[in-house]
Chains A and B, each alone.
Chain A
């Protein structure tokens, strides 16, 4: 999967230290620290309410952490604290260098414009202006996510759930981002649709050498896609490490419970 992990410099892409998000007196997530390297896929697992999504949003600048810092290495190689950037810089990062794949495609797509425009819009945000080129690139990306060319002018309201999710992925990846956040990208899909999406994601992540932080409650998804895993409970990271090691030899009581609760088909 990743000659990228070694060849691209041995410096972290994202450095998270003591990130804490409190909702009043209640803990969203507390004192989370980790480094993410280029080409690495990190899964955040835990049950509902464990703070997975709060953490993801606090890293992706969708929520402002109460304390702690999140440093990101930009394409110029400079390490910058996200929360010391201007709002405009952060928005630019989100539109170009980063992607965010929502659980519900409607949150990440513009439902009233065509599939082609959903993909083209991101390209225009990075300066593409030539209509023909934009349309060609959009068509190419729809093909890569297995959406037929003749659907390019339909708007996503006419798409099935699985197609919408694949369109959302194309919209996010078209600008060749360095880092993609995913919040339960396969949640709410039929298993056969989920399998197709997972296969697609697995291929794209490897081909593009993406760094990914993926939130999932599905340990099988974590095993298939991620190199490393963070297990969260009550807002704290209680166990972390190599994905297969954490899943096959869990150390903490709660992780053992999670792993032993999976139904075997």
Chain B
């Protein structure tokens, strides 16, 4: 961790709107003039009511959404990449090694067991299968997913179980930047506490995090800074 630049994410003058062609080209402004940065080991939480554009900002950083304007600079080793205009191949590489995303919803894949789903991001980073499965098992245990479920595809799991599988998948590998999209929504207190621990561990490893967290207790426990997204509201 020596010599790595401190700023991991730098967002400047970012703007997003949706154009709904099926509604006669209706233009829906989301955010504009978004400016903030995140340093290594810091957890920045985006605050503001539903619909204020928090998720859109997170998705733009992950390149899941496009942006109309501005820059999203990501520190990738000794390179700086602007996600706003990077090629698809560059983004795929960033997602394998540099940016992780923990969402609330699991996209189950037919026939793939929970344990494999969780181990996959590690194997993509070159970790041997045995070790990846062992670490996946440990993490699922910490998140109280019963061992009898590990070899089953999660499509039929309860909502909470699916979410915990997804959290394990999101936290298992090391990414210098981690995006958290309401990872604790609908979790019970014991599991919320595990997520708080996981975030603290990432911080000590120098991971820069941007999160959306509606749960006040969790937010107070992990946020180093809260950015009010309503200040980026687009003039409608």
Report the bound CA distance from A224 to B109 in whole Å: 8
In the complex, chain B residues whose CB is within 8 Å of the CB of A5: 89, 92-93
Q: Check if B124 is an interface residue, CB within 8 A of chain A.
A: yes
Q: Mark B124-140, 1 if CB is under 8 A from A, else 0.
A: 10100000000000000
Q: Would B65 and A40 count as touching, CB distance under 8 A?
A: no
With CB as the reference atom, state the residue of chain B lying closest to A228: B88
Q: Check if B182 is an interface residue, CB within 8 A of chain A.
A: no
Q: Check if A3 is an interface residue, CB within 8 A of chain B.
A: yes
Q: Check if B96 is an interface residue, CB within 8 A of chain A.
A: yes
Report the bound CA distance from A227 to B234 in whole Å: 32
With CB as the reference atom, state the residue of chain B lying closest to A223: B107
Q: Check if A125 is an interface residue, CB within 8 A of chain B.
A: no
Q: Check if B6 is an interface residue, CB within 8 A of chain A.
A: no
Q: Check if B216 is an interface residue, CB within 8 A of chain A.
A: no
Q: Would A248 and B65 count as touching, CB distance under 8 A?
A: yes
Q: Would B109 and A199 count as touching, CB distance under 8 A?
A: yes
Q: Check if B66 is an interface residue, CB within 8 A of chain A.
A: yes
Q: Check if A249 is an interface residue, CB within 8 A of chain B.
A: yes
Q: Check if B111 is an interface residue, CB within 8 A of chain A.
A: yes
Q: Which of B94-128 contact A (CB under 8 A)?
A: 96, 109-112, 124, 126
Counting contact residues on chain B (CB < 8 A from A), the size range is 20 to 34
Report the bound CA distance from A241 to B92 in whole Å: 11
Q: Would A256 and B124 count as touching, CB distance under 8 A?
A: no
With CB as the reference atom, state the residue of chain B lying closest to A192: B110
In the complex, chain B residues whose CB is within 8 Å of the CB of A264: none
In the complex, chain B residues whose CB is within 8 Å of the CB of A195: 110-111
Quick one: which of B64, B109, B126 contacts A202, CB cutoff 8 A?
A: B109
Q: Would A249 and B111 count as touching, CB distance under 8 A?
A: no
Q: Mark B51-67, 1 if CB is under 8 A from A, else 0.
A: 00000000100011110
Report the bound CA distance from A6 to B66 in whole Å: 24
Q: Mark A8-42, 1 if CB is under 8 A from B, else 0.
A: 00000000000000000000000000000100100
Q: Check if A253 is an interface residue, CB within 8 A of chain B.
A: yes
Q: Would A198 and B110 count as touching, CB distance under 8 A?
A: yes
Q: Check if B148 is an interface residue, CB within 8 A of chain A.
A: no
In the complex, chain A residues whose CB is within 8 Å of the CB of B109: 199, 202, 224
With CB as the reference atom, state the residue of chain A lying closest to B110: A195
In the complex, chain A residues whose CB is within 8 Å of the CB of B112: 199
Q: Check if A1 is an interface residue, CB within 8 A of chain B.
A: yes
In the complex, chain B residues whose CB is within 8 Å of the CB of A196: 110-111
With CB as the reference atom, state the residue of chain A lying closest to B97: A6
Q: Mark A204-247, 1 if CB is under 8 A from B, else 0.
A: 00000000000000000000100110000000000001101100
With CB as the reference atom, state the residue of chain A lying closest to B96: A2
Q: Mark B29-69, 1 if CB is under 8 A from A, else 0.
A: 00000000000000000000000000000010001111000
Q: Would A251 and B66 count as touching, CB distance under 8 A?
A: yes
Decide yes or no: A253 and B22 within 8 Å by CB, A3-B124, A3-B126, A248-B64 being known contacts.
yes
Q: Would B92 and A2 count as touching, CB distance under 8 A?
A: yes
How close is A198's CB to chain B, nearest CB, in angstroms? 7
Q: Would A256 and B22 count as touching, CB distance under 8 A?
A: yes
Q: Check if A260 is an interface residue, CB within 8 A of chain B.
A: yes
In the complex, chain B residues whose CB is within 8 Å of the CB of A244: 64
Pairs A–B under 8 Å by Cβ, sample size 23:
A2-B96, A2-B124, A5-B89, A5-B92, A195-B110, A195-B111, A196-B110, A196-B111, A199-B112, A228-B88, A241-B88, A242-B88, A245-B64, A248-B59, A248-B64, A249-B18, A249-B59, A249-B64, A249-B65, A251-B66, A252-B21, A256-B20, A257-B21
| Residues of A near any B CB (own CB < 8 A) | 1-3, 5-6, 37, 40, 195-196, 198-199, 202, 224, 227-228, 241-242, 244-245, 248-249, 251-253, 256-257, 260
Given contacts A228-B88, A245-B63, A251-B19, 17 further A-B contacts (CB under 8 A): A3-B96, A40-B89, A195-B110, A196-B110, A199-B111, A199-B112, A227-B92, A242-B63, A242-B92, A245-B64, A249-B18, A249-B59, A249-B64, A249-B66, A253-B22, A256-B20, A256-B22
| Residues of B near any A CB (own CB < 8 A) | 18-22, 59, 63-66, 88-89, 91-93, 96, 109-112, 124, 126
Q: Which 4 pairs between the two chains have the least Cβ-Cβ distance?
A: A195-B110, A253-B21, A199-B111, A242-B88
